Amino acid sequence: VFRNKLEFFAAAKISSSFPPPTLPEIAFAGVSNVGKSSLLNALTRQWGIVRTSDKPGLTQSINFFRLASKLCLVDLPGYGFAYAKEEVKESWQELKKCLLVHTKRGMKPLDYELVDLMERHKTPYQIVLTKTDLVFPIDVARRAMEIQESLKKNKSVVNPVMMVSSKTGAGIRNLRDDKAETDHL
């Protein structure tokens, strides 16, 4: 499905202006600058359609992309940019699928809040460690285990943490093939 042409088709700032959900959706959430927009590019191997930046806060609206008439990818702004927290939370609830993305810096309080929100709404989610090229593999593994453990305490089911680098391409194919995300397509 990721071979199809990636097409931007809508931008929204509030959930009331979201396009009607006609396709299965995967949303990319996480702190600013974690690599959400870059991951969309890497997954689709279509560079330059989703804009990225080394300055945090580039993505200011919720951007909707589609892959033919098969899948909708949603690029979210980093937490805290352009929205009141409550408003963003409200928008997240509307999204069918959330993919929580976060960095080698580990889970932040807002990441845990999002996990809670998704658990409450039974939104399927996958945690993805980004920018793995910036640390030693042993530290990537350690980080993944730490997150797994921290979530185990209060959650019943947690998908294994996935690890990617949009820069080197490591782990991208795994994420693309992720069964949970593609089974229904």
Q: Which residues bind Mg ion (CB under 5 A)?
A: 36-37, 59
Site string for ligand GTP, 81-120 (x = CB under 6 A): ----------------------------------------
C-alpha separations of 18 from 26, 51, 91, 95, 129 in Å:
14, 20, 9, 9, 27
167 binds, among Mg ion, ligand GTP, none (CB under 5 to 8 A by kind): ligand GTP
C-beta separation of 39 from 28 below 8 A: yes
CA dist list (Å): 29 to 68, 111, 113, 142: 22, 9, 12, 22
Q: Decide: is 13 part of the binding site for ligand GTP (CB under 6 A).
A: no
Cα Rg of the chain, angstroms: 15
Residues 120-179 that bind ligand GTP (CB under 6 A): 130-131, 133-134, 165-167
Q: How many residues bind ligand GTP (CB under 6 A)?
A: 23
Closest contact distance (angstroms) between CB of 183 and Mg ion is: 27
Element housing 175 (H / E): helix 172-177
Residue 35 lies near ligand GTP (rule: CB under 6 A): yes
Cα–Cα distance, 177 to 185 (Å, whole number):
11
* 8 A C-beta contact, residue 151 and residue 157: no
- Binding mask 46-85 vs ligand GTP (x if CB under 6 A, - otherwise)? ------xxx-xxxx-----------------xx-------
Contacts with ligand GTP, residue ranges (CB under 6 A): 32-38, 52-54, 56-59, 77-78, 130-131, 133-134, 165-167
